Amino acid sequence: MTTPAGATPAPNGSMPTYLGMPSFPSAARTAVADSQLRRNLTHATTAIRAKRANVVRELDDWEELRQAGKAIKEHTLANLDTYLLRLEESVTSAGGHVHWARDAAEANAIAIDLIKRKNADKAVKSKSMTTQEAGLNEALAQNGIQAIETDLAELIVQLGDDLPSHILVPAIHKNRAEIGDLFRRTISEAPGDLADDPPSLTATARAHLRGEFLDAKVGISGANFAVADTGSLVVVESEGNGRMCLTLPDTLISFVGIEKIIPSWRDLEVFLALLPRSSTAERMNPYTTIWSGVANADGPREFHLILLDNGRTATLADETGRQALRCIRCSACLNVCPVYERAGGHAYGSPYPGPIGAILSPQLRGMTSPADASLPFASSLCGACYEVCPVAINIPEALVHLRARAVQSQPHYPERIFFSLAASILSSPGRMAFAQRLGSLAGSAVARRKGRIRRLPPPLSAWTDTRDAPAPPPESFRAWWSRTRGGAR
């Protein structure tokens, strides 16, 4: 067993499925050209945005709840070592087993070993962002073990050999007609005349999954919260498939990021009010499953909790960036983000898309790749994400902070070169006057009609490709002042 003291950041390969993804600007360029995708996203995010606003408005003390959620998470993160050890003790004394994993590879290896010891060649899964982050399904497949996603949206993604694009609704980029086509192609139980309405699609998925639930020896889950005092794990969901995964198989393996911990049951009360209103715009979740270790003749006989670091310890070391670890994965920030609404989730190259992905993924993985360094720039800094976040994560503040880190970590980052040059010019009146003269000359040479510049060479073409620019005036203010006031300054 690895102890928490041995936990280290795992920037390389910490999200193996997403290795080699393009950087945000190039992925987003492709995504925004897809008008069907934009229609699907706009339709889905507009509906959920309005519903969320209505149910939040019902609570007079929403802001107090939000600040309570923030305070509980901050306190827990500041004392994470204590609470993790308390959780380990509680789970163990309730008959469960705790495993510590430094990175995705360690977590996957633990799960594979456990499944092989049960002589199982498949496992049913409830929705879990953490297993997506670790690339568990792919690791299981490489070891001859089939992972069966049982959440409807995750099943759609899996059958389509696709990747999730939203935290809560992984198949948000697909519409009903596309899902109907997919089911007719991939599900043998699908009737030939399967309609594209939600009840028919859901009934087909249910028929497909029912046998898998009853056969499965092993279930795999994540957890929304882990209560340190009692060793209880909490899963909230809407479909009931999660509860079947958590209760029917003999062995249950839960992948949980170390930041999911909360100290006590009292704290859970706050989050069970914040999460459903922020995520599905419901007053409470249809299914809330809570289990503590194992119980005789009720649920799994064996319970394994895999606690995953995978870059979280490194994130905790950053005073501004660590607030991303407060996230309860409600997805409210995605639904209000104008950048997400146009670019979609795949452009973020990580299981965590949208504003939270733009600050969490580069911290978990490190900012050494162009894809990770580009993520903090995937925002207009409008602040809508901060306003809706139920644990008051100041995402714009973290974005600006991470932009500075991205620039500092890459010596040849264009902004770094540009601002070094600008600092040198702005700090010297002589250089400033020379630059202004040069700018006026160059501007009048390239300006076409009405004093506008239509096209500039790279890298300035990034601006003029989509808009024109005003030409610098033929004479600077300094030169005009000097000419008209006889050189007085």
How many Cβ atoms from other residues are within 10 Å of residue 45's Cβ? 22
Stretch 133-172: interaction string toward ligand SF4, x if CB under 6 A: ----------------------------------x-----
Nearest-angstrom CA–CA distance, 372 and 268: 33
Specify the residue, 232 or 278, whose C-beta has the smaller distance to ligand SF4.
278
Which of 332, 337, 358, 364 touches ligand SF4 (CB under 6 A)? 332
Nearest-angstrom CA–CA distance, 359 and 338: 16
Q: Which residue bears the tokens 């003749």?
A: 297
Structure tokens at 388: 């809706």
Strands 287-292, 232-237: parallel, antiparallel or unpaired by DSSP?
Answer: antiparallel
Q: How far is the CB of 391 from ligand SF4 (least distance, A)?
A: 5
Report cis status (omega within 30 of 0) of the bond before 390. Answer: no
Q: How far is the CB of 15 from ligand SF4 (least distance, A)?
A: 17
- Pick the piece of the chain touching ligand SF4 (CB under 6 A) from 78-86, 363-371, 389-397, 414-422: 389-397
Q: How far is the CB of 393 from ligand SF4 (least distance, A)?
A: 5
User: Is there binding between residue 331 and ligand SF4 (CB under 6 A)?
Assistant: yes
Q: How far is the CB of 358 from ligand SF4 (least distance, A)?
A: 10
- Pick the piece of the chain touching ligand SF4 (CB under 6 A) from 32-40, 80-88, 326-334, 408-416: 326-334
Specify the residue, 230 or 361, whose C-beta has the smaller distance to ligand SF4.
361
Which of 329, 346, 365, 403 touches ligand SF4 (CB under 6 A)? 329
- Pick the piece of the chain touching ligand SF4 (CB under 6 A) from 93-101, 105-113, 206-214, 390-398: 390-398
3-class DSSP state for residue 100?
A: strand
E strand segments, 223-341? 225-227, 232-237, 251-257, 261-262, 287-292, 302-308
**Do the Cβ atoms of 110 and 101 come closer than 8 Å?**
yes
User: Is there binding between residue 391 and ligand SF4 (CB under 6 A)?
Assistant: yes
DSSP 83: H
- Pick the piece of the chain touching ligand SF4 (CB under 6 A) from 204-212, 248-256, 330-338, 434-442: 330-338
Which of 72, 261, 268, 356 touches ligand SF4 (CB under 6 A)? 356
- In this structure, what are the phi and psi dihedrals at residue 304, rounded to the nearest 5 degrees? -120, 125
Q: How far is the CB of 335 from ligand SF4 (least distance, A)?
A: 9
Specify the residue, 291 or 386, whose C-beta has the smaller distance to ligand SF4.
386
Structure tokens at 162: 């696709």
Residue numbers 204-223 binding ligand SF4 by CB under 6 A: none
Residue of 250, 262, 387 whose CA lies nearest to 332? 387
Structure tokens at 289: 């499953």
Specify the residue, 97 or 329, whose C-beta has the smaller distance to ligand SF4.
329
User: Is there binding between residue 398 and ligand SF4 (CB under 6 A)?
Assistant: no
- In this structure, what are the phi and psi dihedrals at residue 410, rounded to the nearest 5 degrees? -120, 100
**Do the Cβ atoms of 272 and 288 come closer than 8 Å?**
yes
Which of 145, 333, 343, 378 touches ligand SF4 (CB under 6 A)? 333
Which of 378, 393, 406, 471 touches ligand SF4 (CB under 6 A)? 393
Strand order in the sheet with 302-308: 97-101, 302-308, 251-257, 218-221, 122-125, 146-149
Structure tokens at 66: 């939000």
Structure tokens at 178: 């596309």
**What would you measure as the largest C-alpha separation in the chain, in angstroms?**
97
Nearest-angstrom CA–CA distance, 263 and 229: 6
Specify the residue, 56 or 328, whose C-beta has the smaller distance to ligand SF4.
328
Stretch 277-306: interaction string toward ligand SF4, x if CB under 6 A: -x----------------------------
**Do the Cβ atoms of 252 and 306 come closer than 8 Å?**
no
Specify the residue, 367 or 393, whose C-beta has the smaller distance to ligand SF4.
393
- Pick the piece of the chain touching ligand SF4 (CB under 6 A) from 26-34, 263-271, 339-347, 388-396: 388-396
Interface contacts to ligand SF4, rule CB under 6 A: 167, 278, 327-333, 356, 388-391, 393
